[in-house]
Amino acid sequence: MENNKCLHDNCHLDVYDGENKCIFHCEKTKDNGWIIDEEASYVDSKWNSKKVQDFWRKYSDKQNVKFPNNSLVPPFYSYKNFQEKDKNITLNLSNCKILDDFNIDENKMGVKFSLYIYKSIFYGKLSLFNFFNKSNHQTDIHLEETIHHGNIEFSSTSIDNVWIENITVNTLRLGIGDGKSHNQYENIFISNDNDKYKIENLNVKNTNVANGFILKNTVVNSLDCSNSSFRGKVEISNSVIKKYASFENTVFKQVADFYNTTFYQNNFINTLFEDTTSFIESKFYDNVDFKYTVFEKLVIFRKAIFEKSINLEDSIIKGEANFLNMTSRDREINIANKETARIIKHSFDKVGNTIEANKYFAYEMKKEMESISIKDDLNKKIMLNLNYWISDFGQSWIRPLSIILVVAVLHTLLIYGIDNKNFQIINSSNPMYNSLKWIVDFANNLAYNILPFKKSLIHGQEFISLIFLIIYSTLIYNFIVAVKRVTKR
Ligand SMILES: [Zn+2]
């Protein structure tokens, strides 16, 4: 008896068109008429459209049938296959090889479509067009452990849930390029926690996400989230964005959490954070400028690492800010300008953290010192420089103490010198001697007459004593201030 069932292991489908296997398992070659022109650049002219449509019609009839392992899936011809209105079709592929481009244009189908693809290889592009929520059916796209030789592109789409886990692809484009329209999603979840898989570029530009956006454990070259609106919680955590991340003109309506994510070149220009924003343990390897960025509520930079500089000069921080233990890995943190230091200082003052506030006060003064030129204000420039050199604006108590010791040694040597007349350059027989002596005596009397110092001055060396007294007082004052700044509660 002729066996008209598919010869493939465990397949009970009928053979197809003179083959000994079913439509899903039969070889798809030029010899048996599936492929018309291998060299053709367009998918439509490459494949035998009748056979491909048979394939998808058969699939749509038996849509709950799973493709057996290593099935070759021909390009997707959506039109004319699925005509039934309000039908919700789920394409469920596991361990398949999807040949050529896989384009789904919902406008041409009239049905809702969901994709669940697991451990499969796409040899061409995977693209979805014109997916709009016109029915009550839920649309889900679920890719897990898939490898894509072409890009993934969604455009003019409204999809409920996108779940992407452990995939390899060059560009994953969930966003839309033109900026005139926006792609809509309920939830996006992306995680690549296995090193085997890699997403080079992730584009979520011009996109509205109604519920949640989660990107975690993923290394990407670029992440473009510009001109987008996230209405639910956003979590971009434990990820690395190796080249460029952009959040320009993007609105975060709820909590935005960038926990332990590493940024290189970044763009937070004109970003609006309407709820709590957290950069806890985030790492920034390039300059960060939150230019015209608004933080409506709490923003937390705790333990964030800024390898280059942080600039908040043009930021608008309406709520509280927490900058505790913000560092740079192996050097002092680089505060871009005086205003940034002042904002950070102010935030510590507000919560009564005087020690940290003092630290940023020192940065503020340092920036002030750098910005003033001698021409602008010589007086201020000298005072700021002196303050910096003596005690690093109250940050170092060791420095004034060391200078006191050095000055004391010099002072002592000087007294020895004077006592032994080592500095007597003019002999008493010189005609200039008397006038010079008069000047020295006058200076000494002058110093002596400054009342508070009377008792501290050495007889015969009043003037030099006074100079040293002033130096000592200044240094001691700086020492006390520094000790107080570093220890004050
Ligand atoms: Zn079969």
Calculate how far, in angstroms, residue 323's C-alpha sits from the geometric centre of ligand 1: 63
Query: Which residues face 131 on adjacent strands?
Result: 157
Calculate how far, in angstroms, residue 23's C-alpha sits from the geometric centre of ligand 1: 7
What is the token pair recorded at 50? Answer: 């009748």
Residue 240 is predicted with a pLDDT of 97
What is the C-alpha to C-alpha distance for residues 150 and 123, in angstroms, rounded to an integer? 6
Sort 428 into a burial class: Cβ within 10 Å, 0-12 / 13-18 / 19+. Answer: exposed
Print pLDDT tens along the chain (489 aa).
Answer: 456 888 877 778 889 988 888 888 888 888 888 888 878 777 667 888 888 888 877 876 665 556 666 667 777 765 555 655 556 677 888 888 887 788 877 665 656 678 889 999 998 899 888 766 555 667 889 999 999 999 999 987 888 899 999 999 999 999 987 778 889 999 999 999 988 999 999 999 999 999 999 999 999 999 999 999 999 999 999 999 999 999 999 999 999 999 999 999 999 999 999 999 999 999 999 999 999 999 999 999 999 999 999 999 999 999 999 999 999 877 788 899 999 999 999 999 999 998 899 899 999 999 999 888 888 888 888 888 888 899 888 888 899 999 989 998 898 888 888 778 777 666 777 777 888 888 888 887 777 777 666 777 777 778 888 888 889 888 989 898 888 887 765
Residue 1 is predicted with a pLDDT of 44
Calculate how far, in angstroms, residue 70's C-alpha sits from the geometric centre of ligand 1: 11
Q: Which of 119, 60, 112 is nearest to 95 (CA)?
A: 119
Calculate how far, in angstroms, residue 21's C-alpha sits from the geometric centre of ligand 1: 5
What is the C-alpha to C-alpha distance for residues 89 and 62, in angstroms, rounded to an integer? 10
Residue 198 is predicted with a pLDDT of 95
Calculate how far, in angstroms, residue 24's C-alpha sits from the geometric centre of ligand 1: 6
What is the C-alpha to C-alpha distance for residues 304 and 298, in angstroms, rounded to an integer? 15
Query: Which residues face 84 on adjacent strands?
Result: none
Calculate how far, in angstroms, residue 165's C-alpha sits from the geometric centre of ligand 1: 29
Calculate how far, in angstroms, residue 74's C-alpha sits from the geometric centre of ligand 1: 15
Calculate how far, in angstroms, residue 10's C-alpha sits from the geometric centre of ligand 1: 8
Calculate how far, in angstroms, residue 60's C-alpha sits from the geometric centre of ligand 1: 16
Calculate how far, in angstroms, residue 9's C-alpha sits from the geometric centre of ligand 1: 8
Calculate how far, in angstroms, residue 355's C-alpha sits from the geometric centre of ligand 1: 74
Calculate how far, in angstroms, residue 55's C-alpha sits from the geometric centre of ligand 1: 12
Calculate how far, in angstroms, residue 90's C-alpha sits from the geometric centre of ligand 1: 20
Calculate how far, in angstroms, residue 62's C-alpha sits from the geometric centre of ligand 1: 13
Calculate how far, in angstroms, residue 43's C-alpha sits from the geometric centre of ligand 1: 24
Calculate how far, in angstroms, residue 114's C-alpha sits from the geometric centre of ligand 1: 23
Cβ-defined contacts of 167-173 (< 8 Å, 24+): 167/143, 167/192, 167/197, 167/199, 168/196, 168/197, 168/198, 168/199, 169/198, 169/199, 169/200, 170/200, 170/201, 171/200, 171/201, 171/202, 171/203, 172/199, 172/201, 172/202, 172/203, 173/201, 173/203
Calculate how far, in angstroms, residue 95's C-alpha sits from the geometric centre of ligand 1: 15
Calculate how far, in angstroms, residue 16's C-alpha sits from the geometric centre of ligand 1: 9
What is the C-alpha to C-alpha distance for residues 371 and 369, in angstroms, rounded to an integer? 6
What is the C-alpha to C-alpha distance for residues 357 and 393, in angstroms, rounded to an integer? 12
| Per-domain residue ranges of the chain | 268-371, 398-487
Calculate how far, in angstroms, residue 15's C-alpha sits from the geometric centre of ligand 1: 7
Calculate how far, in angstroms, residue 452's C-alpha sits from the geometric centre of ligand 1: 107
What is the token pair recorded at 380? Answer: 């201020």
Residue 134 is predicted with a pLDDT of 55
Calculate how far, in angstroms, residue 115's C-alpha sits from the geometric centre of ligand 1: 21
Dihedral sign computed on CA atoms, order 76, 81, 83, 86: negative
| Residue in the structure block whose two tokens are 């060059």 | 170
CB count within 10 Å of CB 484 equals: 13
Calculate how far, in angstroms, residue 49's C-alpha sits from the geometric centre of ligand 1: 20
Under a CB-based contact definition with an 8 Å cutoff, are residues 244 and 264 in contact?
yes
Calculate how far, in angstroms, residue 71's C-alpha sits from the geometric centre of ligand 1: 9
Calculate how far, in angstroms, residue 81's C-alpha sits from the geometric centre of ligand 1: 20
Calculate how far, in angstroms, residue 133's C-alpha sits from the geometric centre of ligand 1: 35
Calculate how far, in angstroms, residue 67's C-alpha sits from the geometric centre of ligand 1: 9
Residue 222 is predicted with a pLDDT of 97
Which pTM was predicted?
A: 0.82
Residue 488 is predicted with a pLDDT of 65
What is the C-alpha to C-alpha distance for residues 308 and 285, in angstroms, rounded to an integer? 6
Calculate how far, in angstroms, residue 151's C-alpha sits from the geometric centre of ligand 1: 30
Under a CB-based contact definition with an 8 Å cutoff, are residues 289 and 266 in contact?
no
3-state secondary structure the chain: CCCCECCCCCCCCECCCCCCCCCCCCCCCCCCCCECCCCCCCHHHHECHHHHHHHHHHHHHCCCCCCCCCCEECCCCCCCCCCCCCCEEEEEEECCEECCCEEEEHHHCCCEEEEEEECCEECCCEEEEEECCCCCCCCEEEEECCEECCCEEEEEEEEEEEEEECCEEEEEECCCCCCCCCEEEEEEEEECCCCCCCEEEEECCCEEEEEEEEEECCEEEEEECCCCEECCCEEEECCEEEEEEECCCCEECCCEECCCCEEEEEECCCCEECCCEECCCCEECCCEECCCCEECCCEECCCCEECCEEECCCCEECCCEECCCCECCCCCCEECCHHHHHHHHHHHHHCCCHHHHHHHHHHHHHHHHHHCCCCCCHHHHHHHHHHHHHHCCCCCCHHHHHHHHHHHHHHHHHHHHHHCCCCCCCCCCCCCHHHHHHHHHHHHHHHHHCHHHHHHCCCCCHHHHHHHHHHHHHHHHHHHHHHHHHHCC
Calculate how far, in angstroms, residue 464's C-alpha sits from the geometric centre of ligand 1: 106
Calculate how far, in angstroms, residue 190's C-alpha sits from the geometric centre of ligand 1: 34
Calculate how far, in angstroms, residue 7's C-alpha sits from the geometric centre of ligand 1: 7
